[in-house]
Amino acid sequence: MAQKILIVEDEANIAQLLHLYLEKEGYETQIAPDGGKAVELFRSFAPDLVLLDVMLPVMDGWSVLKKIREEGKTPVIMLTAKGETDDKITGLEQGADDYIVKPFETKEVLARIRAVLRRTMGEEENAGGKKLSFDKLVINLDAYELMVDGKRIDTPPKELELLYHLASAPNRVFTRNQLLDEVWGFDYFGDSRTVDVHIKRLREKLEGVSEAWSLKTVWGVGYKFEVTGS
Ligand code: CA
C-alpha cells in the first residue's frame, strides 16, 4: 500500500509541484491549503508523514504541529523560509522531525521524506535492542560498550547515551536543549555547555575513525550524527 503524505502549503504552485512529484514517486498525497484544512485532513486522510509550511492562513504551521503532536507521533517535516534559523529551532523543539529550507529542490524533499520514514519505521522495528552499528563503530547501550575500530573504548555512561541518541537518528539535527531534555532529563540542573563538553570528549574518541559518519556541529542550531552516502 502506498504511503500517504499530507502536503500543507498555501502557495498553490509549490503544493502542485510537490503533489505531482511525490505521486510520480509512488506516494499518495493530499493538499491542505490552510492550517484549518490541515488539521481536518490529518484526521480523515491519516497520513504517514506531513510536509508542513510555517506561514499559513487560518492557523499557522506551529499551531498545526501542536495539534498533530496532541494526537501522536506522525512524522512532520517543516517547510521554513530561508534564513529563519529560529524557525528551525522552534520546530525541532516542538516536535518536528526535520525541516527543509525554501526554496528547495524536489529531489531534496524526497530524500528527506525517505530518511524520516526509514528512521521512524526503524525505531518501531528495533524497539528493545539497543545496539547501533556503523563503519568501524558499534554503540551498544545494552552492555554500555563503545567499540571503535574493533577496540573497546572506555566511555562514561552519559557520553555513550548522548552518542546513541544522536546516532539513532542519523542526519537529524538536535538542539542543545533537546539533547539536555532527552538524554539528561527534564529535571537535570545544567546548561547547554554540558552538551558541548560531552560532544568534545566524544570527538576526541571518534575523530578520523571513518569517512562514513561524523559528529557534526550545525551552526546556530545544534548537533547531528551525520552519515554520508545513505
Ligand atoms: Ca506559506
**SS3 sequence of 167-190:** HCCCCCCEEHHHHHHHHHCCCCCC
165/141: higher pLDDT: 165
Q: What is the pLDDT of residue 123?
A: 59
**Averaged over 79-108, what is the pLDDT?**
81
Asked whether the predicted pLDDT for residue 129 surpasses 90, the reply is no
CA of 131 to the centre of ligand 1 (A): 40
The residue whose grid cell reads 509549490 is 14
Asked if residue 196 and residue 138 are part of one domain, the reply reads yes
CA of 101 to the centre of ligand 1 (A): 12
CA of 189 to the centre of ligand 1 (A): 39
CA of 220 to the centre of ligand 1 (A): 24
Closest CA to 13 of 33, 38, 39, 36: 33
Q: Structural domain of residue 178, as residue ranges?
A: 131-227
Asked if residue 56 and residue 38 are part of one domain, the reply reads yes
Domain count for the chain, please give it. 2
Final residue of a structural domain among 68, 93, 125: 125
Q: What is the pLDDT of residue 127?
A: 53
- pLDDT classification of 92: cutoffs 50, 70, 90: confident
Residues across the chain: 230
Residue 103, preceding bond cis, omega within 30 degrees?
Answer: yes
CA of 219 to the centre of ligand 1 (A): 25
CA of 119 to the centre of ligand 1 (A): 27
Asked whether the predicted pLDDT for residue 187 surpasses 80, the reply is no
The rounded distance, in Å, linking the Cα atoms of 150 and 166 is: 21
- pLDDT classification of 94: cutoffs 50, 70, 90: confident
Asked if residue 34 and residue 120 are part of one domain, the reply reads yes
Q: What is the pLDDT of residue 99?
A: 86
Asked if residue 101 and residue 188 are part of one domain, the reply reads no
Asked whether the predicted pLDDT for residue 128 surpasses 60, the reply is no
CA of 54 to the centre of ligand 1 (A): 6
220/213: higher pLDDT: 213
Report the CATH number that the domain containing residue 163 is assigned in CATH.
1.10.10.10
Report the CATH number that the domain containing residue 20 is assigned in CATH.
3.40.50.2300
CA of 15 to the centre of ligand 1 (A): 10
119/33: higher pLDDT: 33
Which pTM value belongs to this model? 0.59
Q: What is the pLDDT of residue 98?
A: 87
The rounded distance, in Å, linking the Cα atoms of 198 and 144 is: 16
